[in-house]
Amino acid sequence: MLDFAAARRMMVEGQVRTSDVTDVRIIAAMLELPRERFVPETSRDLAYLDLDVPITAAAGARHARRLLKPMVLAKLGQAAAVTADDRVLDVGCGTGYSSALLARLACAIVALEQDPALAALAGDNLRAVGASNATSATGPLIEGWQPAAPYDVIFVNGATEIVPTALCRQLKDGGRLVAVVGRAPVTRATVYRSVGGDVSGWPVFDAAAPLLPGFAAPPAFVF
């Protein structure tokens, strides 16, 4: 049987620290959280590898939901600059791993998922790891979660081919939204900031991530 504690340390030392992640809170959380709990039992040996681990079955591998690879998750979390007073919306929380990590950094987390089965599983997992400041919500990812808005940070747990305008409108003044933006193969981790009602974004590092449902660009018309 795989030694998950050893695998967790190797993940942090070999994937996270070597990618310029210096936030000690993120490193501590990733050393403590049992990532294997958040993937299907049949895939637990994959939990700490440098890949986006499938958490759902789908007709095509492209449409399967996945946990973000550890390096991308950690660097996005660092780019979001989450503070202990922040209220965070985690869009596309999947089985809850990212929400559990963010719950170690922030005051309160809304873990949003549109798949009811994943939302229920995320709630169970968050309770199991003691993330009492995280609450589950179910609804379309692209619409965010207006009942608890506005947010200091919105964490988009995957890629988007479009500017997530509806989500940006749920940011507080000075709030940040982080996501992997673009159309494969050209995608970049991007930080958006809301200032005085205006939102602007800038790329922070090259990254790839699975496209979230509802975040694809409409097909272009071709003559």
- Position 215 in a domain: no
Other CB atoms within a 10 A radius of the CB of residue 146 amount to 11
Contact yes or no for 194/174 (Cβ under 8 A): yes
pLDDT digits (tens, 9 = 90+) for 112-160: 999 999 999 999 999 999 999 999 999 999 999 999 999 999 999 999 9
Q: For residue 117, which of 97, 90, 94, 142 has the smallest C-alpha distance?
A: 94
Yes or no: say if 182 and 161 are a contact pair by the CB < 8 Å rule.
Answer: yes
pTM: 0.94
pLDDT for 219 beyond 90: no
Do 126 and 133 form a contact (C-beta atoms < 8 A)?
no
Task: Decide if 115 is inside a domain.
Answer: yes
Looking at the structure of the chain, the number of domains it has is 1
Residue 69 inside a domain? The answer is: yes
Domain presence at residue 116: yes
CATH of the domain at 151: 3.40.50.150
Could you tell me if residue 213 is inside a domain? no
Residue 126 domain-assigned? yes
Is residue 223 in a domain?
A: no
Domain extent for 61: 4-206
* Euclidean distance between CA atoms 125 and 97, whole angstroms: 8
